[in-house]
Chains A and B, each alone.
Chain A
Amino acid sequence: MAPVLDLLIRNARVAVPEGVFQGAVGVRDGRIAVLCDGSWLPQATERMDARGALLLPGGVDTHVHLREPACPERGGFATETAAAAAGGVTTILEMPISAPPQYSAAILKNRIDIASRSSLVDFAFYGGAGAEHIDRIPELAAAGVVAFKTFLFRAPKGREAEFEGILSCSDGALLDVLDAVAKTGRICALHAENDDIIASTTKRLRAGGRTDFAAHGLSRPPLAEVQAVEKILRYAGDAGARVSVCHVSTPGAMELIRDAKRAGRPVYAETCPQYLFRCEEDAAQFGPYAKYNPPIRDRASMEGLWPFLTDGTVDYIGSDHGPFLPEEKDPGLSDIFLAPAGGVGFEERLPLLLTAVRDGRLAFDAFLRCTGERPARAFGLYPRKGVIALGADADLVLADTEHPFVLDRKRMLTKARETARLYDGREVVGRVLATWVRGRCVYSNGSADATARGWGQWLRHSGACASANAEYMN
């Protein structure tokens, strides 16, 4: 008997690295087995008519904070990976903020076990890197973390346990951590804000009675980011470390990164939708629900980030999805400094970006690069992830780029949907019609398949090092 495909998605506009073709994608054993133009269709157990919708590689989200096991009430792997699937994300890179953070192989194993039981999408972990448990870095690398993450600031008040072993609070500590990570060959991701500047500014603002939303932005000025990035680039050069600057929010920091890349340095830049689609002028109305670190910037900064998407400086757009309870956010209404920083973003990212593509603000190839290809490459998951190509995992997203719809927090799948105010009511295109992870449909027609909990697999670093950084500057 002739072999049969498990799944054939036909009549789609298929986004491959070379462009978009009209045709079909066939899946067998969880991998992409055939690409064809549709004039002839191979046998398949299941056929799906895409009706001309856009078939994209599943998104690789480089910046995710799920709260299990520390704070499952905020949102754990089951609810939040359903939200990821709803947003066209099929691979998440989970950050180490947890209690305790994964600064050792044993803690990592525990988190992998938890995620394995309930995740709908594939997941990889950053390892925690900090001065405190620096000797654990090699064991984490051997255990398969895709990268490391460290923070340059002190733990937020009341969240000390969530930040254990992931802090590089002094220059000496940072150099030590970069040295240790450099030896593993993995990327060291950093939250780049100068904590001293923030502490003194915050103190002054508080003394002046400022606790409104704008005070948050003022307390973390662009200088805090730009200076931290400058320092990181210098230190990374010294240590020979590959660094990824997380959630870059200012054109000034982007310029520094661009120049470092041009000089051939292994530097990666991430930005997030909140810095591209919101500015402080229009975010103030959301108060604590618009509180992020780094803060949402002014309009000129927001506009100033876009050219860095086009010129290849930005490697990936992570959501920084970080659910909180409304009860945690609400104290920020009266005193912005009391609210935790962060918010959800899985379900908004893809429609926002595809809308920017429709509007001509974002080239389609830059979109593909930043949501799939480059993150997968940088973190050792390529070409299994991040691309529609022969032999790649059948991680696929079918999106409707024709019909506008309104982002509605009530219809979201994240447990923290009540806090999803930032784009609530915005008209966009790019509704996700269906999402497949390794050939299995885990989300379609507005709901996730609850039986797919546990379908998500842990992804180790492939061991391959991303090739010369110059790859990424063309």
Chain B
Amino acid sequence: MCTTYVITRISNVLIMDRRHFLKQSTLASSLFFVPNFVKAFENISAKNLGYKRLVIIQLAGGNDGLNTIIPFNNDVYYRNRPTIGINKNEIIKVTDELGFHSNLLPLKKLYDQGHLTIINNVGYPNPNRSHFRSTDIWQTASSSDQYLQTGWIGRYLDEYGNKPYNAIEIDDSLSLALKGQNINGIATKNPQVLFRTSQDPYFKNVLEHYQDEHLSEHNLGYLYKTMIAAESSAKYIFEKHKTASNNQEYPNNEFANQLKTTARLINSGIETKVFYSSLGGFDTHANQINSQARLLKMYAEGVEAFVNDLKQQGTFNDTLILTFSEFGRRVKQNAANGTDHGAASNLFIIGNQLKTPGFYNELANLNDLDANGDLKYTVDFRSVYATVLDKWLAVKDQTILNKSFTKLNFI
């Protein structure tokens, strides 16, 4: 990762239009002292934004797509992976060519019910093989030679959102994806803890005495601004969270907990359009077989519980789940029974309103790899974003992506 870029990025994210900024903070602070402002918010409600929600899951570290959805009739696959290629008889076959990893049985069920679309070979031109850079590219929706300081969800918030909680990351910290020019999403793993922490009389007094001059200061202004937004958002999220519950048992792990919190918030009718979560550990340079199997199981079981929870409470119809990884892995295995960073890979869309359930397209030719020995992309990930923005969230994709991308036909 290039340091210049990080630093410019961080500072640019926060240099904001002062007028807009003051308007926002005055609003936030005055609302804070209106006891019933939560009620007022509810009345503005979801009308402007619609009811459809997007849940994004990042498989962080670079998931090996070829051992996830496996081309079990392909000699090239087995030739390149003498020790980590997955045996034909261990695969859940779904077409003549492709099958699921055996730990993805829950996903196969969604596939059978028409709730899953798998898009193969998703990537971008001149792929970058660094985790950080490629994650940034996916999160900012940039080209590989372009450095953007805002995330694609952040820009969605800039255009269509008005509160941090319009996009929530279920984590301790906020990803670049949710950082906009004028407004950021909010990160929380536990709405209760968030709320409890925000309710301190001393903070309120300090904020009551804050002055605009604080806000113009580079880093210190950022602290004040974050504090003001956090306080009102924490209360709103907590109030909402309290009203709902989970109807489903979830596996006991951190990833499932993220989805559990997401489901509870969705089922509360919260005015959040985008939820963001991630499952890490996919950087399998060595001894890949067991570690990837464990993670895929965690992913599939978590998603299964999540979908069931939403179904039972009637919110699955308006929820779309997008799962991606910053890159796939090299076709040829390495000496450590693992795989190195690759390029294009598969992406999952889960929902109840899919136009093309099943495989959206064919796997790229394993005989026609790029110079590094990686899969060539056939679908630009920004086409997927454009489709989701246009057809699901019903907003102008071009404004958010700064460019027009061919739309796909999966929703």
A binds B: no
